[in-house]
Structure 1
Amino acid sequence: MVMEGREESPRSPEAKLGMQVEDLWDIQEPQLSPTEKLNACFESIPVSAFPPAPLHQGIEIKSDCSLSEAVQILAQHKILSAPVVDVDAPDHASWIDRYIGIVEFAGIVVWILHQSEPPSPRSPNDGSAVAAAAKKVISPLEQEILGPESAAATSGSFFESLTSSELYKNTQVRDISGSFRWAPFLALQTSNSFLTMLLLLSKYKMKSIPVVDLGEGKIENIITQSSVIHMLAECAGLQWFERWGTKTLSDLGLPMMSPASIVKVYEEEPVLQAFKLMRKKRVGGIPVIQKSGKAVGHISLRDIHFLLTAPEIYHDYRSITAKNFLTAVRNYLEKHEEFSTMLSNMVTCKKDNTIKDLILLLDSKKINRVYVVDNDGNLEAVITLRDIISRLVHEPRGYFGDFFDGILPVPQDCRV
């Protein structure tokens, strides 16, 4: 099925991009499989053709900003992360010297909470978290996981005290740059291909990819998994998309996990346990489960910003468990009439849904994952944006070659 009105102007920049893939699809060698055709099409399109992200466009955080200022910038622009510019870099610096990494809500929150925990044998014992951060001797955050006994210590007053503390107000973004998955981060040049970008977002597990202009030494665009899914949704109706999109999830090998491998948190556990578990297991969201095993909600890594931007919502709770967190934030959003995926129940699908169904659902709901259930509603698996992108393209043998040579190594725990 071809999108109606092909002779007319595309309905969006993403649809225009889809038409470009359509034209390339029509001229591919007939003996190629549909997957090979898609690979060839995406290899022929440079990432400079990807529409700029309006929310991220031009938003950068200076390395001498305080954590408090960084959070205000992110909240003001309704984004979860932004590149950090080294204020000490010379004007003629290359991009890799100009940017020291990407800062995000989740990293700031977990770093601050790490400083509030009792010192461990791996932690500095000089009593100065800021000084320790400046020396870059903070132990990896993934080694510190909250236990159930921490729930009472994470009450509403705790978060209010945290956000008014001198640590929060005076620590600069660059002070914490050595404490977790920071620069150097991998970026694409404008001449790199769509195929390279899609493989990095899927097989190589990058959450977002900066696109740099080597001449200007600046980030021109930030391509996220969500923006790729939106592009695909806008391509519904085009021949190449329909050939792929009408296949069922099971036909494409989705989901790629078993029920036993689902990362989850129980509703009476501290919400910080949920966030730290997400970072340790390298997942972007987890279901909240009752003792009976029934899923009652969902918390994603991006929800962590409520801990910093609205700590007053926890006044009535002795401790901030996962259950209380869901209730408090939902009440807060309803009171302020703000839209959020947290106001919705868990979004689910079944294995016999098509990949097109799933893409349109994810894009319309603005969510990053869908839970797969059986006919009785039992939780079976999770499908993420990365899973979907991974089924769109494949990495040809030897494709990257020496692509990673000369690029400073990405930290092992990196999720840019």
Structure 2
Amino acid sequence: MASLQETVKNDHSSEELMKLWEEHQNYFGKGVPPGMREILNDAFSKVPVSSFPDLPSGEVIEISADDTISEAVRILSEHNIMSAPVRNPAADSNDPWSVRYIGMVDYPAVVLWVLEQAELAATALAAGTAAAVGVGAGAAGALGALVLGMTGPAAIAGLAAAAVGAAIAGGVAAETGVGKDAQTAANALGEDFYKVLLEEEPFRSIKVSEITNSYRWAPFLPIQPDDSMLTVLLLVSKFRLRSIPIVEAEKPSVENVITQSAIVRGLAHCKGREWFDCVAHKTLSQLDLPKMTADEVVFVEANKLILEAFILMRDSGVGGLPVVEGAERKVVGSITVRDVWFLFLKPKLFARRKELTVLDFMNIADSFSETEGHTAKFFPPLTCTESTTLEAVIDLLASRKAHRVYLVDNDMSLTGVVSIRDIISCFVSEPEGYFDQYFGGAFKDAIKDKNN
């Protein structure tokens, strides 16, 4: 991405930038001076989206809304990607992108949804019969009420109940924990229970479009090749997007996808420009980071169950957690929502999800990473201190393809977190009304639909 370094010339001298910084420090102590933000906004507005490299595979992987959940998981897994555009199967190949795409499917969110169904199914299996789980009666009865109470939509409850009924009726669950407690039922089934979720009806036939309201569904908010890196940074910060598709106004298909990891690498390649280095060379303390205090950081204790960790991420709306030990909250590792795939695609791990601690999970998954060539890293945790420079944080995130780093003191006790959005906030700020008419107001409509 050398072109990022070559795109913008130094329109402002280092002396001018230093003067802005010193004047702000004298009056306010910390943070980025407003005048410097204007310079940074202007600089990033001149870095074109076309500076980002194409995807490693050279092609954009898409998923049809008519694809089954099984197919979606297989496609995302085989290509080792975390999200993909969802194509409207009713759209014509010549239709514009606004008709052709309906959203972005998020792999970790799909997996979490299936895990939720697994817990419902485990409870249902403990009842022992298809009739007890409401098959043929619309998930009626005490268990049906439990299912409805946990998930909300009756349609999803019916699917969970029917899946368990099919497993029992088909002999999958025969004499393997049925009629016992939920944990025994799920653990005893082992790999067969895993197969129920994606290989037995009706889960095998559930389409991506049918569960769009039951897990985090990202809107389709694209950019164009002649847009700027400023737009990319503001989109990730404002709308909390994991990836941003690139489209051309007159073409129907997605040309490229910019991920959070690509954005971090893009920032790293801006080094050497005075307008960038004037901020990147400052320490986190000088930049008034982290924004979140130690008491506000969501964390998980190493001895907690791994399933609890993933549920905590879902309920808290965060994509990763520091793993801590002891009253001092010493950081010993970190996990992200991306890591849920280890639990999902490894049946033996899945069967132990009710007994596997976070620390056990990290140790086992780390061994999988080493033997199978995956990039997930749980040890050592990504940490920094208040004296770490922003440039060093960006380099660390870029090298580990991560999106957050945890702040610790000299004893490795947790004191805060710095996310990619915190980093972006140091460089750019949203001009008033910046997205109001973007793509003819399509962004406003997409966010409105998502919130409804």
When normalised by structure 1's length, the TM-score is: 0.81
Give the conservation status (yes or no) of the 8 Å contact 1:56–1:79: no
Q: Is 1:34 matched with 2:36?
A: yes
Give the structure 2 partner of residue 245 of structure 1.
Answer: 280
**Among 106, 109, 112, the residue aligned to 2:108:** 106
Q: Is 1:67 matched with 2:65?
A: no
Letter in 2 for 1:306: F
The Cα of 1:391 is off from its aligned counterpart by: 0.9
Cα distance change of structure 1 residues 169 and 25 upon mapping to structure 2, 3 Å threshold: farther
Letter in 1 for 2:416: A
Give the structure 2 partner of residue 6 of structure 1.
Answer: none
The Cα of 1:279 is off from its aligned counterpart by: 2.4
Q: Deviations over 1:224-282 (max 9, x none)?
A: 22211101222323333322211111111211110001111233433232222212222
Computing the radius of gyration from Cα coordinates, the structure with the larger value is: 2
Q: Deviations over 1:308-333 (max 9, x none)?
A: 32223456776233233223212333
Cα distance change of structure 1 residues 256 and 151 upon mapping to structure 2, 3 Å threshold: farther
Cα distance change of structure 1 residues 221 and 24 upon mapping to structure 2, 3 Å threshold: farther
**Structure 2: distance between partners of 1:388 and 1:103:** 25
Give the structure 2 partner of residue 11 of structure 1.
Answer: none
The Cα of 1:75 is off from its aligned counterpart by: 1.5
Q: Deviations over 1:116-155 (max 9, x none)?
A: 42413434179632899xxxxxxxxxxxxxxxx9877764
Give the structure 1 partner of residue 220 of structure 2.
Answer: 185
Give the structure 2 partner of residue 358 of structure 1.
Answer: 393
Give the structure 2 partner of residue 199 of structure 1.
Answer: 234
Letter in 1 for 2:231: T
**Structure 1: distance between partners of 2:365 and 2:407:** 25
**Structure 2: distance between partners of 1:323 and 1:152:** 22
Give the structure 1 partner of residue 369 of structure 2.
Answer: 333
Cα distance change of structure 1 residues 318 and 257 upon mapping to structure 2, 3 Å threshold: closer
Deviates more, 1:199-208 or 1:357-366: 199-208
Letter in 1 for 2:66: D
**Structure 1: distance between partners of 2:96 and 2:372:** 44
Give the structure 2 partner of residue 10 of structure 1.
Answer: none
Using CA pairs under 8 Å that are at least 6 residues apart, name the structure with larger relative contact order, 1 or 2. 1
**Structure 2: distance between partners of 1:253 and 1:85:** 42
Letter in 1 for 2:60: G
Q: Deviations over 1:158-206 (max 9, x none)?
A: 4454344334422222222232333642222333332222111123322
Cα distance change of structure 1 residues 151 and 345 upon mapping to structure 2, 3 Å threshold: farther
The Cα of 1:88 is off from its aligned counterpart by: 1.6
**Structure 2: distance between partners of 1:69 and 1:77:** 12
Q: SS where residue 154 of structure 2 aligns? A: coil
The Cα of 1:108 is off from its aligned counterpart by: 1.5
Uncovered stretches (5+) of structure 1, i.e. residues with no partner: 1-13, 133-148
Give the structure 2 partner of residue 20 of structure 1.
Answer: 7
Give the conservation status (yes or no) of the 8 Å contact 1:160–1:312: no
Deviates more, 1:58-67 or 1:346-355: 58-67
Give the conservation status (yes or no) of the 8 Å contact 1:43–1:196: yes
**Structure 2: distance between partners of 1:260 and 1:364:** 28
**Structure 1: distance between partners of 2:450 and 2:157:** 27
**Structure 1: distance between partners of 2:374 and 2:217:** 31
Give the conservation status (yes or no) of the 8 Å contact 2:334–2:379: no
The Cα of 1:295 is off from its aligned counterpart by: 3.2
The Cα of 1:368 is off from its aligned counterpart by: 1.8
Give the structure 2 partner of residue 223 of structure 1.
Answer: 258
The Cα of 1:399 is off from its aligned counterpart by: 3.2
Aligned residues: CA RMSD: 3.1
**Structure 2: distance between partners of 1:299 and 1:120:** 30
Cα distance change of structure 1 residues 154 and 189 upon mapping to structure 2, 3 Å threshold: farther
Give the structure 1 partner of residue 320 of structure 2.
Answer: 285
Letter in 2 for 1:409: A
Give the conservation status (yes or no) of the 8 Å contact 2:5–2:272: no
The Cα of 1:339 is off from its aligned counterpart by: 4.2
Q: How does 1:285-324 map onto structure 2 within 5 Å?
A: 285-290=320-325, 292=327, 293-313=329-349, 319-324=355-360
Cα distance change of structure 1 residues 400 and 172 upon mapping to structure 2, 3 Å threshold: closer
**Structure 1: distance between partners of 2:57 and 2:416:** 31
Cα distance change of structure 1 residues 277 and 55 upon mapping to structure 2, 3 Å threshold: farther
Give the structure 2 partner of residue 410 of structure 1.
Answer: 447
Count how many residue pairs are aligned between Structure 1 and Structure 2.
383
**Structure 2: distance between partners of 1:126 and 1:221:** 33
**Among 371, 375, 379, the residue aligned to 1:344:** 379
**Structure 1: distance between partners of 2:195 and 2:413:** 38
Cα distance change of structure 1 residues 41 and 129 upon mapping to structure 2, 3 Å threshold: same
The Cα of 1:377 is off from its aligned counterpart by: 1.8
Q: Is 1:172 matched with 2:207?
A: yes
More helix by share: 2
**Structure 1: distance between partners of 2:155 and 2:408:** 48
Give the conservation status (yes or no) of the 8 Å contact 1:81–1:103: yes
Q: SS where residue 197 of structure 1 aligns? A: helix
Letter in 2 for 1:322: V
Give the conservation status (yes or no) of the 8 Å contact 1:236–1:242: yes
Deviates more, 1:39-48 or 1:403-412: 403-412
